[in-house]
Amino acid sequence: MIFDVSYWTRVLTRILYVIAILIGLYIGLKLSIFYMPFLVAFIISLIIEPAIRFIMKKTKLTRRTSSIIIFVVALIVILGGFTWLIVTLFSESSSLLQSLNDYFEKAYTQFQSLITKFDLDKIHLSNEILNVIDNSTGDILKTASNWLKNSLTSLIDVITSLPSIMICIGITIISLYFICVDKIYILDQIEHHTPKIWVKKMKIHLSEITQTLGGYLKAQATLILVSFIVSLVGLYILKIVGFSIQYPLLMALFIGFVDALPILGSGSVMIPWALISAINGDIRLGIAIIVLLIIMTIIRQVLEPKLVSKNIGVHPIFTLIAMYTGFKLIGVFGLLIGPIVLIIFKNIFSSLIDQGVFKTIFDQK
């Protein structure tokens, strides 16, 4: 058997190329988390860039002056919203944490009451099975209670760690200012210190990623923000008119987070909430939540075709796998990161995927 050196050299080169890209993406993800204030500043700069260009076009002002005007407006809005968010989150989280045991004891009592309504003698369940069901329910509620307690405690710890938060906010604000004002200079410096072949390849990949991932993230972020705002306003209105809603901000944040997950949606939170409210006897609240969900769904269905111009071409099963993988690797936050990384992988390895990954690597041509 003749060992084809040139063939296996090509195969090894292709494998190393794929591995190098995967390592680069992993390092890039780690650096993004490490330098989060700069990443946040960069994202905000992309959001307000159209406003800067609009001011430049309409007023004929320089980029620096236009950037300072928009920066000041954005700073006032962000700091005002952030202050309200921190104060309200701290208040609602502390209140929920104090009354958490009462809520889960009430849930356990409701479950016991629901079980007693069924005629279990007709299905001939033994006492051992009934005890298992009873104990399992208690264990599930206890686990959920502990998880929620830990989450709320962690949230309060984050909120109360003011020195770290203030440092991150300060760095983000200063970075945002320099990115907006000196954007052209920063881009020129990056291009000046980067090899031309890298710049060429980076421009190609960044252009493609901006069109696919950038457009997708912008559309999804807009839809999630709309869902959060509509749910927040709706819940506060329901609270003002007398409905029993004690934690509107926490619920709106939770609804927005679940709505951000590609396969799930706000209905996976609001429908169970409405059913539980109806079972507990508050039918009016259950109906109000369903009406709010219908309003949110209609608004989303109207906006989504305009914001999402084309499908990203990822089958839901692969999105689900990416979500699960992200969850197992980095926790709940991985549910959001997983699909994003999947889209990046699909974009970078598009040629390999189109031609067949193993066929491209091991093909003799």
What DSSP state is assigned to residue 125?
-
* Residue 145 one-letter amino acid: S
Pairwise CA distance, residues 66 & 55, whole Å: 6
Residue 247 in any domain: the answer is no
Q: Which of 7-11, 79-83, 111-115, 301-305 has the lowest mean pLDDT?
A: 111-115
Query: Would you say residue 226 lies in a domain?
Result: no
Cα–Cα distance measured from residue 155 to residue 312, given in angstroms and rounded to the nearest whole number: 34
| Cα gap 249→229, rounded to integer Å | 10
pTM: 0.61
Residue 218, domain member (yes or no):
no
Contact 70, 45 (CB under 8 A): no
Scored b (16 or more CB within 10 A) or e, 123-152 reads: eeeeeeeeeeeeeeeeeebeeebeeeeeeb
* Other beta carbons less than 10 A from residue 330's beta carbon: 15
Q: Is residue 279 included in any domain, yes or no?
A: no
The pLDDT of residue 115? 58
Of 57-71, 117-131, 263-277, which range is least confident?
Answer: 117-131
Question: For the chain, first and last CA: distance in Å?
Answer: 19
Q: What tokens does 188 get?
A: 């020129």
Residue 290: inside a domain, yes or no? Answer: no
What three-state secondary structure class fits 40? helix
Instruction: Tell me if 180 sits within 8 A of 71, measured CB to CB.
Output: yes
Encode pLDDT of 49-101 as tens digits.
888 888 888 888 888 888 889 889 888 988 888 788 878 877 777 777 777 66
Total tally of structural domains belonging to the chain: 1
Q: Write the DSSP symbol of residue 120.
A: G
Q: What's the token pair of residue 282?
A: 């508050």
Nearest to 256 by CA among 218, 223, 214: 223
* Structural domain contains residue 109: yes
pLDDT at residue 275, rounded to an integer: 84
Supply the DSSP string of 303-338, one letter for each residue: HHHHH--S-----HHHHHHHHHHHHHHH-TTHHHHH
User: How does pLDDT run across 150-189, given as a tens digit for each residue?
Assistant: 766 766 666 666 667 778 888 888 888 888 888 777 777 7
Would 161 be classed as within a structural domain?
yes
Q: Residue 227 falls within a domain, yes or no? A: no
Amino acid identity of 76?
Answer: I
Closest C-alpha to 174, from 286, 44, 302: 44
Range of the domain at 116: 36-193
Report how far residue 229's alpha carbon sits from residue 296's, in angstroms, rounded to the nearest whole number: 10
